[in-house]
Amino acid sequence: MRAAVCRAYGPPDRVAVEELDPPTLGPGQVRVRVGTAAVNFPDVLLVAGTYQIKVPPPFVPGSELAGEVTEAAGDVTAPAVGQHVFGSTLVGAFAEEAAVAASSLTVVPPGVDDRVAAAFGVAHRTAFHVLKSVARLQPGEELVVLGAGGGVGLATVQLGVVLGASVTAVASNADKLRAAAAFGASHLVDHRTGDLRPALRQVLPEGADVVVDPVGGALAEPALRALRFGGRFVTVGYASGEIPRIPLNLVLLKGVHVLGFQFAEFARHRPGDMRRNDTELLALLASHRAFPHIGAAFPLDGAAQALACVAEGKAVGKVVLDITGH
């Protein structure tokens, strides 16, 4: 099979396509003929060797996929051979075939293609768990989304609108803000045009109820300052490369709640919430009320370029690799 391979840690251009033996199937796994894989920020970090989990090279990157089950280990009861599935894994998705734990896969609802399914799981599930169970967003509330043109950010904009909030999107260029507007954002703020705090005060004079921050860095503090008394700030990621430090006197004076979300910890500590949210989100996907914006698609041979697009923050919404589909 053909696969993109990382033979040494480094920038995205270390990744190149090679002919490999198909992966062997372990207990609890199914073999997936990968239709589409989606690119996520942690894939870049795994290739760079700077992610919290290290995978020794050589390895096939790729943590999110959709495709058809072609074989199942003897102990697997579902999904069945022939079903289309989507889900995530640590590595291995940038290949024609992947061996994936059956328990981490979901059957693709009728009428949803591999591309949409592949690009849906990580970003939309993160956004939905954050909004429903961490921020506890209520209809009519004012939600500010940083990195609103990125994968998690755009999903947060869309699901915030679905949950009845008024959404202010903060991003770095017109393409990203256009995508956020198409997903229902009411206010658009380009953070490159000046100080974020006055820009947010202008559109939200009464302050925001919730800020969702997948970016970190210099934008976090002015966004937190834009909260009303008692508002909620949710830290989700640090795509800027910088973990912000918030002066605690701001928290004291404004009476705000600073909250965090991390997928594995949420799954471990709140499995009931996760199951309930995932069921609700799958229904939104099946009814086409929730879907990813796919900003760029590459063939498998373009894996390095796809990783670079995400590494440089250029992606609008999700970046995908069309492997055996399309």
Residues that bind ligand NAP (CB under 6 A): 40-42, 122-123, 126, 147, 149-153, 171-172, 176, 214-215, 236-241, 261-263, 310, 313, 315
**Least distance to ligand NAP from the beta carbon of 122, Å?**
6
- Rounded to a whole number of angstroms, the minimum distance from the CB of residue 40 to ligand NAP is 5
Nearer to ligand NAP, 29 or 40 (CB): 40
Rounded CA-CA distance 295/90 in Å is 23
Residue 288's Cα: distance from chain center in Å?
18
Tokens 């979901």 belong to: 106
Minimum Å gap between C-beta 320 and ligand NAP is 12
Angle at 265 (CA atoms; ends 105, 127), nearest 5 degrees: 65
Task: Quote the CA–CA distance of 175 and 310 in Å, as a whole number.
Answer: 15
Judged by beta carbon, residue 18 or residue 312, the one nearer ligand NAP is 312
For the CA atoms of 100, 101, 104, 105, the dihedral, rounded to the nearest 10 degrees, stands at 60
Q: Rank residues 62 and 151 by Cβ distance to ligand NAP and give the closer one.
A: 151
Q: How far is the CB of 21 from ligand NAP (least distance, A)?
A: 31
- Distance, in Å, from the CA atom of 227 to the CA atom of 88, rounded to the nearest integer, reads 34
Indicate the angle between helix axes 151-162 and 174-182, nearest 10 degrees.
30
In the complex, minimum distance from the CB of residue 307 to ligand NAP, in angstroms, rounded to a whole number: 11
Smaller CB distance to ligand NAP: residue 40 or 168? 40
> What distances in angstroms separate CA 217 from CA 146, 213, 235, 246, one per listed residue?
11, 10, 11, 10
Beta carbon nearer to ligand NAP, 92 or 214? 214
